[in-house]
Amino acid sequence: MEISIPAIVNGYAQGYFLMADDDGEIGWYSSRQRTLIPLDARFRYPKSLRPIINQERFSVAIDRDFVAVCHGCADRETTWISPKLQDIYIALHKAGFAHSFETWQGEELAGGILGIAIKGAFIGESMFYRIPNGSKVAMVKLVEHLRQRRYVLFDAQLQNPHLERFGSFVIKPKEYKFLLHQALSRQCDFFDQNK
């Protein structure tokens, strides 16, 4: 698959996402149900995380080591993030669309979330952890960040039990495309341009 940043961004803006198959070939996919992480009061997280967050056991960073987060998300027995797809994410990152939201303990990367930000939508691609609770704290802090930056859509693509613990819910494609259209009409910056 040729890396064309405008074409890839347009694909995501149409409601599709990229995945590699078992042979490493990359294609566009959609799903019969789309999973969202709520950015309102419906968002929740396990009570066991509260003391960890309050004690600030992890520091949070954005794009401190994007490539390491790509590798971390792909480093599992079965993965849909092929080396070619990692190259695409890195190209999207260099173009200002893909970001990593990370947790650290000192100089050690504890966990992270990889996603693509397009206007008022954040499309979460994958997450991982190396230190227990690293990715969970990243999720809580990412939601706080998206709220502060006035994002209106956090797309997690596919439902799983881990995401359900954060209040994730599924919607039909027609409703998703409506919400995505609304999100794409809002101009949001993942970073504070004044900093």
pLDDT digits (tens, 9 = 90+) for 113-151: 999 999 999 999 999 999 999 999 999 999 999 999 999
Greater model confidence, 14 or 77? 14
Structure-token pair, residue 117: 């930000």
The CATH number of residue 69's host domain is 3.40.630.70
Coil vs helix vs strand at 125: strand
115 burial type by CB count under 10 A (0-12 exposed, 13-18 middle, 19+ buried) = buried
pLDDT grade, residue 1 (50/70/90)?
low
Residue in this structure with the two tokens 């694909």, named with its chain if needed: 11
* Domain membership of residue 90 as a residue range: 5-184
DSSP class of residue 187 equals -
41 occurs within a structural domain: yes
Burial of 36 (0-12, 13-18, 19+ CB in 10 A): buried
Which pLDDT value is given to residue 192? 67
pLDDT digits (tens, 9 = 90+) for 36-73: 999 998 999 989 999 999 998 999 999 999 999 999 99
Kindly give, in sequence order, each residue whose CB lies less than 8 Å from that of residue 150, ignoring residues fewer than 6 positions away: 120, 186, 188
How many domains does the chain fold into? 1
Q: Is residue 191 part of a domain?
A: no
Taking 90 as the threshold, does the pLDDT of residue 195 lie above it? no
Residue 194 forms part of a structural domain: no
Q: What percentage of residues in the chain have a pLDDT greater than 90?
A: 80
Residue 44 lies inside a defined structural domain of this protein: yes
